[in-house]
Structure 1
Amino acid sequence: MGPDDSAEFIYEKGVVLARDGEEARVVEDAVRAHFTATDGLDPEHVRRSGSRDNRSGITRIRVGDPGEGGRGTDRTVAGALRALRQAEGRAGRRLVSRNHLVSIAVNACPGDEPVPAAPSAQPNPAAAPAARNADGGDGTDGAVGVLVVDTGLTHDYRSYPLLARTEGDAQVRETDEQGILQQYVGHGTFIAGLVAAVAPHTDVTVRGTLHDAGAILESEFGERLFDAVEDGWPDIISLSAGTSNGRVDGLLGVAAFMEELRSRDTLLVAAAGNNASSSPFWPAAYASLPEYADAVLSVGALRGDGEFGACFSNHGPWVKVYAPGERLVSALTGFDTPVPYVYQHSTYDSCRYGFTYTCTCRSPRHTGVLSEAQQTSPGKPDQVMFEGLASWSGTSFATPVVAGLVAAYMTANGVTDPRAAARRLLADRAEFAEVRGTHVPALLPPTWRPVPVGPA
Structure 2
Amino acid sequence: MEAAARWTAAAGDCGADGIFRVRLSPGVDVCDLAATLRDRGHRACPNHVLTGQPLFFGGPASRPFPAGPLTAPPSGEGPVTVAVLDTCLSAHPWWRERPWFLERRQEAEPPDSDGDGERDAQAGHGTFVAGLILRGAPRARLRPLRALDGHGVGDEAGLLRLLALLRDDPPQVLNLSFGGHSFDDRPSPLVREALAALPGTAVVACAGNTASDRPFWPAALPGVVAVGALDAAGRARAPFSAHGPWVDACARGEWLASAFLEEEPFGGYARWSGTSFAAAAVSGVIAALTAETTPARAVARVLDPRRDGRIDDLGTVVPLPG
CA contact (8 A) 1:162 1:196 kept: no
Q: CA deviation at 1:162?
A: 9.9
Q: 1:420: which partner in 2?
A: 297
- The secondary structure found in structure 2 opposite 1:49 is strand
Q: CA deviation at 1:219?
A: 2.6
Structure 1 residue 205 corresponds to structure 2 residue 143: yes
- Amino acid in structure 2 at the alignment position of 1:115: P
- Matched-pair identity in %: 30
Provide the C-alpha distance between the structure 2 equivalents of 1:165 and 1:193, rounded to a whole number of angstroms: 16
Whose RCO is larger (CA < 8 A, sep 6+)? 2
1:180-229 Cα distance to aligned partner (Å, 9 max, x none): 322211111111111111112121222122234222222332113323x2
Q: 1:76: which partner in 2?
A: 29
Structure 1 residue 64 corresponds to structure 2 residue 1: no
CA contact (8 A) 2:245 2:314 kept: no
- The secondary structure found in structure 1 opposite 2:50 is strand
Structure 1 residue 97 corresponds to structure 2 residue 45: yes
CA contact (8 A) 1:151 1:187 kept: yes
The 3 A distance-change label for structure 1 pair 97 and 53 is closer
Provide the C-alpha distance between the structure 2 equivalents of 1:425 and 1:95, rounded to a whole number of angstroms: 34
Superposed, which structure 2 residues align to 1:140-219 within 5 Å?
A: 142-155=78-91, 157=92, 159-160=93-94, 164=98, 167=101, 168=104, 169-175=106-112, 177=115, 179-219=117-157
- Amino acid in structure 2 at the alignment position of 1:251: S
Q: 1:451: which partner in 2?
A: none
- The secondary structure found in structure 1 opposite 2:250 is strand
- Amino acid in structure 1 at the alignment position of 2:18: G
Q: 165, 168, 171: which one pairs with 1:234?
A: 171
CA contact (8 A) 1:301 1:398 kept: yes
- Figure out how many residues of one structure are paired with residues of the other and give that number: 317
Structure 1 residue 250 corresponds to structure 2 residue 211: no
The 3 A distance-change label for structure 1 pair 165 and 190 is farther
Bigger CA drift: 214-223 or 54-63? 54-63
Q: 1:51: which partner in 2?
A: 12
CA contact (8 A) 2:58 2:240 kept: no
Q: CA deviation at 1:281?
A: 1.1
CA contact (8 A) 2:207 2:219 kept: yes
Q: 254, 257, 260: which one pairs with 2:197?
A: 260
Q: CA deviation at 1:161?
A: 6.8
- The secondary structure found in structure 2 opposite 1:283 is coil
CA contact (8 A) 1:323 1:443 kept: yes
Q: 1:276: which partner in 2?
A: 211
Provide the C-alpha distance between the structure 2 equivalents of 1:240 and 1:208, rounded to a whole number of angstroms: 12
CA contact (8 A) 2:205 2:218 kept: yes
CA contact (8 A) 2:64 2:271 kept: yes
Q: 2:65: which partner in 1?
A: 116
CA contact (8 A) 1:274 1:395 kept: yes
The 3 A distance-change label for structure 1 pair 190 and 439 is closer
Superposed, which structure 2 residues align to 1:394-433 within 5 Å?
A: 394-411=274-291, 414-415=292-293, 417-427=294-304, 430-432=307-309
CA contact (8 A) 2:78 2:141 kept: no
Q: CA deviation at 1:164?
A: 4.7
Provide the C-alpha distance between the structure 2 equivalents of 1:188 and 1:299, rounded to a whole number of angstroms: 17
The 3 A distance-change label for structure 1 pair 420 and 284 is same
The 3 A distance-change label for structure 1 pair 78 and 320 is closer
CA contact (8 A) 1:57 1:256 kept: no
Bigger Rg, which one: 1
- The secondary structure found in structure 1 opposite 2:247 is coil
- The secondary structure found in structure 2 opposite 1:234 is coil
1:423-451 Cα distance to aligned partner (Å, 9 max, x none): 0233277423545xx5731101231xxxx
- Amino acid in structure 2 at the alignment position of 1:236: V
1:70-125 Cα distance to aligned partner (Å, 9 max, x none): xxxx763355356x1xx64453xx64322211121475764433433344x647xx
| Alpha-carbon RMSD | 3.0
Q: 2:227: which partner in 1?
A: 299
- The secondary structure found in structure 1 opposite 2:321 is coil
Q: 239, 250, 256: which one pairs with 1:328?
A: 256
TM-score normalized by the length of structure 2: 0.85
Provide the C-alpha distance between the structure 2 equivalents of 1:152 and 1:424, rounded to a whole number of angstroms: 29
TM-score normalized by the length of structure 1: 0.62
Provide the C-alpha distance between the structure 1 equivalents of 2:256 and 2:141, rounded to a whole number of angstroms: 21
Q: 2:320: which partner in 1?
A: 445
- The secondary structure found in structure 2 opposite 1:270 is strand
- The secondary structure found in structure 1 opposite 2:258 is strand
Provide the C-alpha distance between the structure 2 equivalents of 1:434 and 1:225, rounded to a whole number of angstroms: 32
CA contact (8 A) 2:111 2:261 kept: no
- Amino acid in structure 2 at the alignment position of 1:277: S
CA contact (8 A) 2:212 2:241 kept: yes
Q: CA deviation at 1:285?
A: 0.9
